[in-house]
Structure 1
Amino acid sequence: MSKNRKQAPARAATATAVGPGGGAASDRDAGGRAASDGAAPTGVSRRRLLGTAGAAGATGLVLGAGGGVAGYAATRPEEPTALTTVGANAAMFHGKHQPGITTPLQARGHLTAFDLVAGAGRKEAAALLRRWSAVAKELMAGRPTAGAADGPGHDTGIALDAGPSSLTVTFGFGRTFFGRTGLADRLPAALDPLPAFSADALDAKRSNGDLWVQIGADDALVAFHALRALQKEAAGTARVRWQMNGFNRSPGATARPMTARNLMGQIDGTGNPKPSDEDFDRRVFVPASPGKPQEWMEGGSYAVVRRIRMLLDDWEKLPVERQERVIGRRKADGAPLSGGTETTEMDLDKAGPDGRLVIPDNAHARISSPEENGGAAMLRRPFSYHDGIAEDGTPDAGLLFICWQADPFRGFVPVQRKLDRGDALSPFLRHEASGVFAVPGGAAEGEYVGQRLLES
């Protein structure tokens, strides 16, 4: 469970999802931050927040709806509020699962795939994962990276003065990694190529990769600092294949904890499986398999990563009533069209006075629901993105969709196949990149991520 130096206000679910399960996703309970993959007491970071924020943290003030940095607060009549409750949050690097899977969504994210350079194999990959794990552990604790002041490992100073800010770093292996490291006999069947879907317009240069890294933090500089540190450590062993940047709502940006909205303006993240669910681990994490070639994946999960562009100009031409019928939920509060509140279970059989289904038979929320997919479910934990304006003048924006499951062919694939056959939202989406990665379990004390694979 995450433990903060000061108790932070509860934050609602923000695990948005467009594409598979887009009408429902939340990896935290409605009452606040759910259990993360593990968090440790942060203590006082060497990169403490300065000025008003630091002083307020000492008195126990917390970030409220009107919170802001000290310079902004000075222009307002209210007393300044503290950001230390955001900056001081720290996730634990070591644990049964890697961080960044059940950790509550962060405000900033970077996704990066690497390919091993020519001549690099198992030995070099193991050394890289050892270095990466050491760097991730330090940065997640809010400590600068080690190294000589002028050496290759020196800290850049990008995130000086900031706390850990809920930083998480997650590592995974792509299908091609196993052949290039002489570990083809350990390749999981769950990394088989995904089937083609009608909305696919995939760019091979921005898909797949030998290694995958997910970075998340509640501060943009902290997230970028981690990105640069890991890229530097990869030099000579792996090169960047592709890199994408994302964002979510910042902590404290709303007057009360609530589910985030996606770039289509829909409240999006209500029905994700929760760690408190009885079958959560079975759906999300790989069970033990002693003696089998994939026993190294115990406690791990499979991440499906899709860059999904939203055709916002077309979407925004629709009247709100039509948008709601496409999704199957009210835009104002996220409640299902069958009635109730955001968390009310959908009544898929309810008909209106005209005899038509209140939630249309092609509504996104209906088609993606577990009830319509034989119970298939996944933990969706995405970031929105905006990369400027495309050549045709439309926004290059949408969702960096990330979903976690024990087996993509029992989680993502059946749901996406169902969406592919008649989802009313599909005409407003374009899948532009794709990848599947095996994310091993967390590293124990004294281990690095992937050690059980690379040294077996």
Structure 2
Amino acid sequence: MGGDSGSTGHTGRTGDTGDTGDTVGGAPTAAISRRRLLGTAGAVGAAGLALGAVGGATGYAAGRPEPVAALTTIGTGSVPFHGVHQPGITTPTHSNGHLVAFDLLPGAGRKEAAALLRRWSASARALMAGEPATSGPGTSGGKGGGGDAASDASPSVGHDTGIALDAGPSSLTVTFGFGRSFFGRTGLADRLPAALDPLPAFSSDHLDARRSDGDLWIQIGSDDALVAFHALRTLQKDAGAAARVRWQMNGFNRSPGVTPHPMTSRNLMGQIDGTGNPKPSEPDYDQRIFVPAHPPTGTTDWMAGGSYAVVRRIRMLLDDWEKLSVSAQEHVIGRRKSDGSPLTGGTETTEMDLDRMGPDGKPVIPVNAHARISKPEANGGAAMLRRPFSFHDGIGTDGTPDAGLLFVCWQADPLKGFVPVQRKLDRGDALSAFIRHESSGLFAVPGGARQGEYVGQRLLES
């Protein structure tokens, strides 16, 4: 689905760049001090905070507060907001996520967009640090914030809702991007990157325009569902009268700690999904994913350190897929379902032997296998960093699940990453019969905000 490359298993988050501050037990002290768990009966250590202990002690703790328990490892994970790159790109995948696109409202232009990005950046910085959200229309927006936002003030914003009151940061990340239409609506058409040219049409597309594109895009990820929703609700409220939601999608992945060791995630087809992602150890890792810090003359300087996100809602036709035998599924993908190893043998990370023939004289890995067609070496080296979520939005009256993959991939240039790979998949991928692309978006995600900046400041104030 857009390439045989994706996310690695969960590990402790340290963020893309920047310092995480002093730590206690691997967790930033600031994160622990700002959000506290409710007291529980007895002293419960971080490693022993179990569901039974929390559930059984709720009433007792409310009547007689006990010493505050330490946050669990999952709760204390923290990713810095400031850095060379925005968080949520190379950060390990999260167990919960939301993708949401906004359109600027009539009358909102560059000034209003700048004020909105100040608010959003201030809220994201606070929430990612485990602090309450206090930014909103008419508020200062913290460092790098401010601006004349009084015209879109609302009495319902500017106060934390308390949704995640008892939780730690839970590795929350918030990532912001701009769609092609944003530049015309803010008078910045001359700053539009060539890499935001519209994606070509593909034969597997069944796109719903109402759930595609958008002026602004936000990716939210966390290892706690309430923390993720809290961020979504805060940013929606922060939009005030500047922007409204165009579309919104919810996703999930395997939770940290449910496997004996970190592993590549499985998708809803049961396949290990993401083996061929670029690895940080590869010498061209950064140049494949990020726009250079010093772009060549004539390119978009405000995108230095940024990346381009292709976002696709890919419906999996699970009823059809599940009718196949395991062997047939493996031949569609080109890898073993049990461990992700190539059909030619080895482990998940073993290189595929694309030249090996079987006793029948045919390639062991079929010529139309997804893993073969999407392999970077089969696409002139084109590669992208896949960081998807699974989704399930209910079951239809006919019993068909509305489920699949919220495909998100990152690259320095989508015309050299996603587009050539998807074109090749579109021409002969065996997996195409079992998926349907239902929405699409392409967004320019600028570099990370420096201390005292908001995301996009180098574009909006240039």
Normalization by structure 2: what TM-score?
A: 0.87
Q: Tell me the matched-pair count.
A: 423
1:298-342 CA-to-partner distances (Å, cap 9, x unmatched) read 000000000000000000000000000000011111111010011
Query: Matches of 1:418 and 1:69 in 2, distance apart?
Result: 51
Query: Matches of 1:293 and 1:361 in 2, distance apart?
Result: 38
- Counterparts of 1:170-249 in structure 2, within 5 Å, are 170-249=175-254
Of the candidates 85, 92, 103, which is equivalent to residue 91 of structure 2? 103
- Counterparts of 1:25-104 in structure 2, within 5 Å, are 25-27=6-8, 32-33=11-12, 36-38=15-17, 40-41=20-21, 42-43=28-29, 44-51=32-39, 56-57=44-45, 61=47, 70-71=53-54, 84-104=72-92
Name the SS for the 2:101 alignment partner. strand
User: How far 1:396 sits from its partner (Å)?
Assistant: 0.3
User: How far 1:233 sits from its partner (Å)?
Assistant: 0.5
Q: Which runs of 5+ in 1 are unaligned?
A: 1-18, 75-80
User: How far 1:269 sits from its partner (Å)?
Assistant: 1.7
Of residues 36-45 and 405-414 in structure 1, the stretch that sits farther from structure 2 once superposed is 36-45
Q: Which runs of 5+ in 2 are unaligned?
A: 22-27, 58-68, 140-154
Equivalent residue letter for 1:237:
A
The residue aligned with 2:460 is: 454
Query: Matches of 2:240 and 2:164 in 1, distance apart?
Result: 21
- Counterparts of 1:103-122 in structure 2, within 5 Å, are 103-122=91-110
Equivalent residue letter for 2:176:
F
Query: Matches of 1:156 and 1:240 in 2, distance apart?
Result: 19
Query: Matches of 2:243 and 2:38 in 1, distance apart?
Result: 37
Distance change (3 Å), C-alpha of 1:377 and 1:33:
farther
Query: Matches of 1:251 and 1:262 in 2, distance apart?
Result: 15
The residue aligned with 1:354 is: 360
Equivalent residue letter for 1:24:
S
User: How far 1:46 sits from its partner (Å)?
Assistant: 1.9
Distance change (3 Å), C-alpha of 1:277 and 1:151:
same
Query: Matches of 1:197 and 1:415 in 2, distance apart?
Result: 11
Query: Matches of 2:315 and 2:232 in 1, distance apart?
Result: 23
Matched-pair contact (CA < 8 Å) for 1:159–1:221: yes
1:193-218 CA-to-partner distances (Å, cap 9, x unmatched) read 11100000000000000000000000
Of the candidates 419, 424, 435, which is equivalent to residue 425 of structure 2? 419
Matched-pair contact (CA < 8 Å) for 2:7–2:265: no
Identity %: 74
Matched-pair contact (CA < 8 Å) for 2:264–2:274: yes
Of residues 276-285 and 44-53 in structure 1, the stretch that sits farther from structure 2 once superposed is 44-53
Matched-pair contact (CA < 8 Å) for 1:49–1:84: no
User: How far 1:275 sits from its partner (Å)?
Assistant: 2.1
Of residues 287-296 and 307-316 in structure 1, the stretch that sits farther from structure 2 once superposed is 287-296
Matched-pair contact (CA < 8 Å) for 1:190–1:409: yes
Of residues 43-52 and 225-234 in structure 1, the stretch that sits farther from structure 2 once superposed is 43-52
The residue aligned with 2:149 is: none
The residue aligned with 1:20 is: 2
Matched-pair contact (CA < 8 Å) for 2:8–2:263: no
Query: Matches of 1:28 and 1:291 in 2, distance apart?
Result: 38
Matched-pair contact (CA < 8 Å) for 2:179–2:217: yes
Distance change (3 Å), C-alpha of 1:69 and 1:169:
farther
- Counterparts of 1:42-441 in structure 2, within 5 Å, are 42-43=28-29, 44-51=32-39, 56-57=44-45, 61=47, 70-71=53-54, 84-146=72-134, 152-287=157-292, 288-289=294-295, 292=298, 294-441=300-447
Equivalent residue letter for 2:329:
Q
Matched-pair contact (CA < 8 Å) for 1:48–1:54: no
User: How far 1:267 sits from its partner (Å)?
Assistant: 1.1
Query: Matches of 1:192 and 1:70 in 2, distance apart?
Result: 54
User: How far 1:56 sits from its partner (Å)?
Assistant: 5.0
User: How far 1:48 sits from its partner (Å)?
Assistant: 2.4
Of residues 285-294 and 301-310 in structure 1, the stretch that sits farther from structure 2 once superposed is 285-294
Query: Matches of 2:99 and 2:41 in 1, distance apart?
Result: 30
Equivalent residue letter for 1:105:
T
Query: Matches of 2:41 and 2:192 in 1, distance apart?
Result: 48
Name the SS for the 1:212 alignment partner. strand
Matched-pair contact (CA < 8 Å) for 1:335–1:344: yes
Distance change (3 Å), C-alpha of 1:293 and 1:356:
closer
Of residues 112-121 and 255-264 in structure 1, the stretch that sits farther from structure 2 once superposed is 255-264
Query: Matches of 2:214 and 2:402 in 1, distance apart?
Result: 23
User: How far 1:151 sits from its partner (Å)?
Assistant: 5.7
Normalization by structure 1: what TM-score?
A: 0.88
Highest CA radius of gyration, 1 or 2? Answer: 2
Name the SS for the 2:430 alignment partner. coil
The residue aligned with 1:7 is: none
Query: Matches of 1:25 and 1:377 in 2, distance apart?
Result: 11
Name the SS for the 1:425 alignment partner. helix
Distance change (3 Å), C-alpha of 1:452 and 1:167:
same
1:226-265 CA-to-partner distances (Å, cap 9, x unmatched) read 0000000101000000000000000111222221110000
User: How far 1:69 sits from its partner (Å)?
Assistant: 6.4
Distance change (3 Å), C-alpha of 1:184 and 1:252:
same
The residue aligned with 2:148 is: none
User: How far 1:49 sits from its partner (Å)?
Assistant: 3.1
Equivalent residue letter for 2:338:
A
Query: Matches of 1:53 and 1:264 in 2, distance apart?
Result: 42
Equivalent residue letter for 1:40:
T
